[in-house]
Structure 1
Amino acid sequence: MFDSRVEIIPANGIAAMVSRHLPTSTTLTITCLPAHGIERTMAAALELADLGYAVVPHLAARAVADKGQLRNLLADCATAGITEVFTISGDAPRAAGPYASSTPLMADIAELSAGSMKMGVAGYPEGHPATHGVQLLDELLAKQELASRVVTQMCFSAEAINNYAGLLRREGVRLPVWAGVAGAVPRTKLLALAGKIGVGTSLRFLSTKGSFARHMLGGERYQPDALIDGLAPTHIAGLHLYSFNSLAALPAALGPATAHAG
């Protein structure tokens, strides 16, 4: 059984929704989307931390205005007992300040927290449309001294995730790999929201798989069980569950692992 975390979007009323459906033993990661901004991410993180959840806010480099704002964000995390963040470049077309990518952001987080803040980083089993695969690998190798884990982009192929984790090991990336998996999400919501959070590539991959695609997306709700069963415990350290805020079905989809704080 894999440890798991649940990714949520900081929509209005998300704290009440989470508390209705998930026990406080659940570890939550909170997205930072351009439409919401880093302020909403942190507001949700602080509210959920106050309710007793372990939370991992996403810090999008391009959303951080300057080092002073970053210092304040980390101070808020420290006050709330938040010990880990997830660092990404972000999807904003322009950087709000000096951080165009997650690499300098991570360096400043390490400096300002005196090395105490854990940092997750993104991995791409199916590549990234804007960055060459060799560059992605080089960036991971450069980041791993500051990072605590790799969380993969949402993927619908256990084989692709396992192969990616194996590749990272062969190339010298020692970080634990957490598989990014869609939860038991309504099909229409998955298709409508996927592009907004950057998983269009993975859905296009799925659409090429013929009968497999019809099986996985043909019903009213996507079910991740078969994909999870195909993940290799020797390669994968845990599950990062993309919930799209469809929280009620998570325990049915994953069983006790959903409530395990990873």
Structure 2
Amino acid sequence: MLPTRLEIIPTDGIVADVRAQLPAGTTITVTCLPHHGIERTMETATALAGHGYNAVPHLAARSIVSRKQLAGIVRDCGGAGITELFVIGGDKTHSAGPFTSSEGLMREIAEVSGNTMTMGVAGYPEGHPSITDGQLLDSLRAKQELASHIVTQMCFSPTAIAGYSAMLLREGVTLPVWAGVAGAVPRTKLIMLATKIGVGSSLKFITGKAALGKKLLGGGRYQPGELIEDLQALPSPPAGIHLYSFNNL
């Protein structure tokens, strides 16, 4: 069985929901959305850490307003026993402060923390809507000395995950890859979300032409069990499963 971590959105009441449904010790990553801001991410992550969860806050570079704010975040993480971060560029068009990319933010975190923070980074097996494949690869090459692992965007194809991992190895990126998998989500919501984030070939189920489409569109809720089994059966399976729960715990 592959190790699994869950991603949540820091909405009102989510800490109570996690405590009611998931055992202490579970790894929970907490998103950083532009309309929520870093503050809500950190409040949720530190609360979860205080209840015995392995909390991993997401930090979006373009949402950090100053180096002083970042130093405070790193200090708060230390006080809460948080030792891992997930670092992204973020969806904001313009930076709120001095950081424009995840790489720059990671280098600052490493300096401020004295290299005591573990950091994960994002990977895109089916590409990114606004960044070329070459730019994504160059970014991973630059960040891998600072990172501990890659978490992929939501993907529905074990073949795409396997091909992406093999490509990274050929290109000299040796970080472990965690496969991003959608949890048990209502299918209409899943299609909307997947389309928005730019999932490519593995989203052919929208047309109903692929066998995968019939599986996904059957019933009212997508279930990830079969995909996870297929990932586990790969000759070189991913390092783990990163479950996008969308708060459907």
Q: Same fold (TM over 0.5)?
A: yes
> 2:143 aligns to what?
143
The 2-side partners of 1:238 and 1:226 are apart by: 15
Is the partner of 2:7 in helix, strand or coil? strand
Secondary structure of the structure 2 residue equivalent to 1:6: strand
SS class of match (1:219): coil
Q: How far 1:170 sits from its partner (Å)?
A: 1.2
Q: Which residue of 2 aligns with 1:207?
A: 206
Report the more deviating stretch, 53-62 or 213-222: 213-222
Q: From the superposition, tell whether residues 65 and 3 of structure 1 become closer, same or farther in structure 2 (CA, over 3 Å).
A: same
Alignment match, 2:89? 89
Task: Look up the SS of the partner of 1:121 in the other structure.
Answer: strand
**CA contact 1:120–1:150 (8 Å) conserved in 2:** yes
SS at match of 1:33: coil
In structure 1, the partner of 2:173 is: 173
CA RMSD of aligned residues (A): 1.6
Structure number with the bigger relative contact order (C-alpha 8 A, sep ≥ 6) is: 1
Matching residue of 1:185: 185
SS at match of 1:166: helix
In the alignment, what sits opposite 1:250?
A: none
Deviant stretches of 4+, over 6 Å: none
The answer to whether the 8 A contact 1:166-1:235 is kept is: no
Q: CA deviation at 1:226?
A: 1.5
Matched position secondary structure for 1:110: helix
Letter in 2 for 1:224: P
For residue 234 of structure 1, report the CA deviation from its aligned partner. 2.0
Work out the number of aligned pairs and report it. Answer: 246
Contact 1:61 1:102 in 2 (8 A): yes
For residue 185 of structure 2, give the secondary structure of its aligned residue in structure 1: coil
Is this contact kept in 2: 1:153–1:199, CA < 8 A? Answer: no
List aligned pairs for 1:12-161, cutoff 5 A: 12-161=12-161
Name stretches of at least 5 consecutive residues in structure 2 with no aligned partner: none
Cα deviation code 1:97-154 (max 9, x no counterpart): 1111101000000000111101000000000111111111111011000000000000
Counterpart residue number, 2:236: 234
Residue of structure 2 in register with 1:255 after alignment: none
Q: 1:244 is matched by which residue type in structure 2?
A: F
Contact 1:154/1:202 (<8 A) preserved: no
Separation in structure 1 between the aligned mates of residue 244 and residue 147 of structure 2, nearest angstrom: 21
Shift of 1:227: 1.1
Rate the CA distance shift 1:221–1:86 in 2: closer, same or farther, 3 A: same
Quote the offset at 1:214 in angstroms.
2.5
Instruction: Tell me how far apart the structure 2 counterparts of residues 136 and 148 of structure 1 sit (CA, whole Å).
Output: 17
C-alpha spacing 1:238/1:171, structure 2 compared with 1 (3 Å) = same
Q: Give the C-alpha shift of residue 191 in structure 1.
A: 3.2
Q: Which amino acid aligns with 1:218?
A: G
TM (normalized to structure 1)? 0.89
User: Who is 2:10 aligned against?
Assistant: 10
Instruction: Indicate the SS of the match to 2:222.
Output: coil
